[in-house]
Amino acid sequence: MTETYDPENIFAKILKGEIPSNKVYEDDLTFAFMDIMPRADGHTLVIPKNQARNILDVDSVDLAAVMTSVQKIARGLVQAFDADGILIQQFNEPAAGQIVYHLHFHVIPRHEGVKLKPPASEMADQEILQSNAYRLRAAL
């Protein structure tokens, strides 16, 4: 059983403009921004603008819009970061590793032979995040 949505979660605050982010893409239903603790350069988060705790309670229209944006971001990351592949991660509820309770997809460019950094291990330098956001926006 899922809990209720918390409108004060960090991603809701980013959407309201209460917390800054390095935005890379936005449309009517979705928002994409750089992960501040990236597992690889270009690590991007894609979220719905409407409230959804996770995939278990998201409206199907919002989920379809998010997946369309995930694909757009994935294609942009391949181009911008010359990626050999793309890792998509999404977690639902604590038992599955969800930490922020607003539906989000991690879109991570991958390169052969390069290991991922551990999750939530190191805050990235803002200049690097801004540069990576610029690279991705230019590819979109």
Residue 104 designated active-site: yes
DSSP state of 137: H
Question: In sequence order, what DSSP letters do the residues of 116-127 get, joined into one string?
Answer: PPPTT--PPPHH
Please count the CA atoms within 13 angstroms of the CA of 130 that sit on its side-chain side.
4
The whole-angstrom separation of Cα 76 and Cα 123 is 23
Tokens matching residue 73? 């971001």
Q: Per the residue annotation, which of 43, 104, 106, 111 is the catalytic one?
A: 104
E strand intervals along the chain: 23-26, 30-34, 44-48, 85-89, 105-110
DSSP state of 133: H
- Scanning the structure block, which residue is given the tokens 């757009």? 72
Catalytically annotated residues: 104
